């Protein structure tokens, strides 16, 4: 196995802390959270106490001021145990960076320290029932009225939708424009006119509270605009490389875990006077998957290195998300097969991992959107 070279001993010490946190506070409770459809706020507080939230944010705003590898470790360790409920990556590595990079001093001081402690949980509202891929054509409108915006519309598939205290909302401040009409608002979820809809029933990621959100004449102060009016689409584009890298890190770690469970299971399972691992089909299939996952591990680590130097190209990040999430699903499908009927039972981690992996080719930009981005960079633009 090719050894990894990107982590220092400080990173590995942090990994030990994360492992202990997960073993004590996550794994024993995850099945219950799946039944509840969300994780308790006490988990966010515990993670905040241990410094696991907003690792990269500057220390003056309550973060650790650490490099992105600390975030990567948290994402990996959660994926190794199949814990999809705690959506710390969305909070810390997807939403917080927008605030750090584009928030006013007042916005940063108001929100980031409380996000770091887990007192405030955030969500990102981009997707709407009419479409998630085509962000330029979102329909939720925020029309200015004096020093407030009046917001009407709805969002769907919002992770943390039920538990969030703060929503980073993509909306149209100029409905006559496409990308240039998109703005980002920081919406406090106790605002009059904000209502939460159903917690959506999903085939996987069951401990995430994925929800519908509605806005009816909801008033948001103009001071809650993130960045400039009409600058929202450009802001969203700035964080894409990191968002896709997070998904790739998770995909490879989840695939590695599935292979490990399957190696153990096939070595133990007996049939026809031998173990399942003795069959050539098992050996060749697992060897082939192992080789592919190892190759992608090297690719992801290289992207991590580039990202640490702020040199990761969004197109390369899209390629990384595309191939790792495709492989993740293939690994889950083939590994599940080795578990036979047990693989189809929810009590088995491989069943959950199979269902969870299916989302990764959709959420955060579909596989087709990733291909579109790559195609546009290597081919003349399609007519």
CA–CA distance, 321 with 370 (Å, rounded to integer): 8
Is residue 241 exposed (0-12), middle (13-18) or buried (19+ Cβ within 10 Å)? buried
CA–CA distance, 300 with 320 (Å, rounded to integer): 7
The question of whether 119 is a catalytic residue gets the answer no
Is 295 a binding residue for ligand FAD by CB under 6 A? The answer is no
Is 98 a binding residue for ligand FAD by CB under 6 A? The answer is no
Residue 43, number of CB atoms within 10 A of its CB? 19
Using CB under 6 A, pick the residue from 80, 117, 366, 374 that binds ligand FAD. Answer: 366
Residue corresponding to tokens 């600390």: 70
CA–CA distance, 290 with 296 (Å, rounded to integer): 10
Is 186 a binding residue for ligand FAD by CB under 6 A? The answer is no
Stretch of 95-103, 151-159, 215-223, 239-247 lying at the interface with ligand FAD (CB under 6 A): 151-159
Using CB under 6 A, pick the residue from 62, 97, 125, 343 that binds ligand FAD. Answer: 125
Minimum distance, C-beta of residue 84 to ligand FAD, in the bound complex (Å): 9
Stretch of 35-43, 131-139, 247-255, 326-334 lying at the interface with ligand FAD (CB under 6 A): 131-139
Minimum distance, C-beta of residue 250 to ligand FAD, in the bound complex (Å): 13
CB 222 within 8 A of CB 144: yes
Is 127 a binding residue for ligand FAD by CB under 6 A? The answer is yes
Torsion 182-185-191-197 (CA) sign? positive
CA–CA distance, 167 with 159 (Å, rounded to integer): 10
Minimum distance, C-beta of residue 340 to ligand FAD, in the bound complex (Å): 28
Residue corresponding to tokens 């291909």: 371
Is 131 a binding residue for ligand FAD by CB under 6 A? The answer is yes
Minimum distance, C-beta of residue 264 to ligand FAD, in the bound complex (Å): 29
Residue closer to ligand FAD, measured from CB, 155 or 297: 155
CB 25 within 8 A of CB 42: no
Residues forming the site for ligand FAD (CB under 6 A): 123-127, 131-133, 157-159, 202, 205, 210, 359, 362-366, 368-369, 372
């Amino acid at each position: 196995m090719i050894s990894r070279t990107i982590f220092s001993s400080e990173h590995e010490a942090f990994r030990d802390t994360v492992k202990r946190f997960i073993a004590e506070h996550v794994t024993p409770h995850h099945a219950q959270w799946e039944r509840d459809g969300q994780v308790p706020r006490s988990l966010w507080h515990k993670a905040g106490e241990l410094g696991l939230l907003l690792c990269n944010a500057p220390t003056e705003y309550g973060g650790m001021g650490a490099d992105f590898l600390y975030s990567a470790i948290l994402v990996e360790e959660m994926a190794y145990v199949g814990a999809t409920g705690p959506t710390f990556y969305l909070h810390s590595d997807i939403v917080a960076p927008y605030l750090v990079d584009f928030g006013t001093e007042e916005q940063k001081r108001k929100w980031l320290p409380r996000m770091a402690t887990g007192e405030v949980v955030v969500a990102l509202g981009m997707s709407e029932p009419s479409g998630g891929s085509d962000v330029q054509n979102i329909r939720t409108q925020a029309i200015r009225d004096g020093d407030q915006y009046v917001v009407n519309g709805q969002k769907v598939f919002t992770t943390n939708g039920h538990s969030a205290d703060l929503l980073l909302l993509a909306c149209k401040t100029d409905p006559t424009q496409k990308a240039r009409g998109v703005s980002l608002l920081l919406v406090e979820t106790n605002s009059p006119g904000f209502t939460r809809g159903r917690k959506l029933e999903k085939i996987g990621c069951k401990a995430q509270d994925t929800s519908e959100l509605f806005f009816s004449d909801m008033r948001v102060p103009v001071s809650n605009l993130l960045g400039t009016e009409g600058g929202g689409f450009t802001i969203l584009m700035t964080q894409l490389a990191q968002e896709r890298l997070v998904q790739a890190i998770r995909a490879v770690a989840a695939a590695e875990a599935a292979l490990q469970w399957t190696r153990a299971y096939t070595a133990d399972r007996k049939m026809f006077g031998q173990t399942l691992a003795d069959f050539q089909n098992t050996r060749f299939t697992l060897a082939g998957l192992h080789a592919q996952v190892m190759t992608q591990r090297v690719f992801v680590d290289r992207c991590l290195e580039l990202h640490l130097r702020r040199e990761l190209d969004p197109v390369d990040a899209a390629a990384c998300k595309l191939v790792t999430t495709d492989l993740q699903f293939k690994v889950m499908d083939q590994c599940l097969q080795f578990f036979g009927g047990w693989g189809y039972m929810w009590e088995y981690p491989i069943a959950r991992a199979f269902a969870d992996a299916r989302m990764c080719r959709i959420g955060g930009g579909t596989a087709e959107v990733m291909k579109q981005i790559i195609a546009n960079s290597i081919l003349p633009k399609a007519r």
